[in-house]
Structure 1
Amino acid sequence: MAAFVASDRHRVAVLVRPGLLQMELGIVHQLFGQAVSAAGDPLYTVLTCTLVPGAVRTDGDVTFNVAHGPELLAEADTVIVPTSDEDYTPVDGRLSPPLAAALARIRPGTRIASICTGSFVLAAAGLLKGRRATTHWKSCDRFRELHPDVRLDSDVLYTEDGDVLTSAGVASGIDLCLHIIRADHGVAVANAVARTTVVPPHRDGGQAQYIRRPVPEATGSSTGAARAWALDHLERPLPLRELAALESMSVRTFTRRFREEVGLSPARWLTLQRVERARQLLEESDLPVDRVAANAGFGTAVSLRHHLLEATGVTPTAYRRTFRGPRGTPL
């Protein structure tokens, strides 16, 4: 007997595995379950399946009883693969035989999406070869090691390449599902789902704004005093000749030593340090944006906006709103 009841609704199958993140399963059911037509009729049917029906361990102290097995995948119009804790530290880029057999049931042309590190499953199945994809920023290095044939974009919240979609961290599953609903049924339906769920219909920027990028430290110490002095005086102009003079070096020698020790040019290192200082001030202070720009050494709000956009994909105002909330309270 078919697991999906015959109807005109789009059929979504969620393939879960032991170690499932509860929130990710909830996101799919909540968002697609809230999508209705102008007449109030549900637009999707969402069912959950697993490799062996029965109790499925989650990341919390509860288990889910999943009634459907992998045969459900053959009936789906969209298959969504959430994260399992086994994806956090994948040993290799291969699928287990049961998981490979389950994915082989998916019909050609079926839309397939992953949430967070569920992208490791799609990549191991060969579904991402040559395609643009993303995953959680913490797992990007390992992903690139295991799947160099995938065009990984570590900055975005989600990707769509043909009929295959991927999303970044857990909450990016919200962005992914809203994108799918918007593509299927338009902005009005997706916005209504977002309002009902009390989430923004679209988030500014990508996951780059959530990534702390430590500025490289030196492996030697011949330019250490100049770097320490610069960090204490980021708000002022720091010409290269002045930094070199602090180490009693010529500009040419200082630049060479600096790059050898830090792996960056002095100018690039200073820019990154100023971006980090600006991020700290936007998160932890109520200073106006022009004061943040001055204190970080960018001089003007226009310059700060340019460099922060380049580093995080969002403006200073959007960055502050994300990390401090509407009343300026640190999140």
Structure 2
Amino acid sequence: MTVRPTLSAAVMAHPRRTAAVARLREQVPGLTVAMDPRPDGPPTSVRSAAVAWASADPGATHHLVLEDDALPCADLLDGCAALIRGFPSAAVSLFVNDSARTAALTRMAVWSGRDAAQVIDIYVPTQGLILPAGAASGLAAFLRAHDDLTEAGDIAVLRYLHGAGVPVVVAVPNLVDHDDLTSIMGNTDHGRRGSVCYPGHAPHGDAGRLFDTPEIIPYLSESTTCSFLTSTPASAAPLRSRTADMLHLLGTDHDALRAQAPAAPAGLPAAAVHELWLTAYATGMLLTGSGRADPGEVRRHADTPAGRAAAASMASGGLGRGVPAPLLAAAAGPLADVVLHGLDLGSDAGSLRGWPGTAELTPART
């Protein structure tokens, strides 16, 4: 007999966020409030997370926990229901910030029409997270036993999930964004930490198509504003090299490639914008060159609200520390166009050239 998936939900909260919690309770019917039992203790999300994960309804097959600065889409629960039908045994994060390595995979999933991507960072985004009921109770016990952890809560959660053998994926597009509230954890210097792709509503229909993680992905590093090809957990060997150098070693004419790139929007550093464009170009190459999509599919999925949101977030996530926020915001539209231009040209190039794996790139690097 098939058990119909059912979902309970909680918000992990701090007394300083009562207004935000009240808003969430209006948006998400039946939301349980899990207050930090020691709000005056050392700043940590672990204490309230332990309470939240222990609050699953006894009859629920899955449990959702939101952080109190989450911004859920209007049809959040419908989107969650589709995700737990499609990925019943997985931990499903509803958010990933736009500068994460997982965000690079998420954009590829958007542009190839997939419903989820693997979490490949050292932490799981916990802005909104769904777990199977058994994993939820196990995580609650783990966090209660380790509420003095010095590591970040999102790292501890991933450590537990990996140890329990629970697959960890992120919803595509994201169903939750991150509100720009003052950080209780002292993370204000991290910047806005917005979603990689938040169109504001859940996709229609069923979910269940997981993006196949490549061995190597293009990634625009926020800390350096440089584009790299970097290995993922799917790779047997580590690799991290500048995208421009690797494409040149593989036969791409660097000068010809630069000539195809659009000019930087007024007032923005040309070198940084070129690295952004190059990341998008290599992403298009990967999608079509690896057979994950054809150029027509990439264009079709890019020409959607979710596709354009993913393009805009590549700029905000990768250039956020190298370009002043007012300049970045003023040029958001033109920068999204830069990304879509690179993605389009790269998808055509990939369909002709293919996309290498780690074994092919490692000899080229040496």
**Shared fold (TM-score greater than 0.5)?**
no
**Higher RCO (CA 8 Å, separation ≥ 6 residues):** 2
Larger Rg: 1
**TM-score normalized with structure 2 length:** 0.29
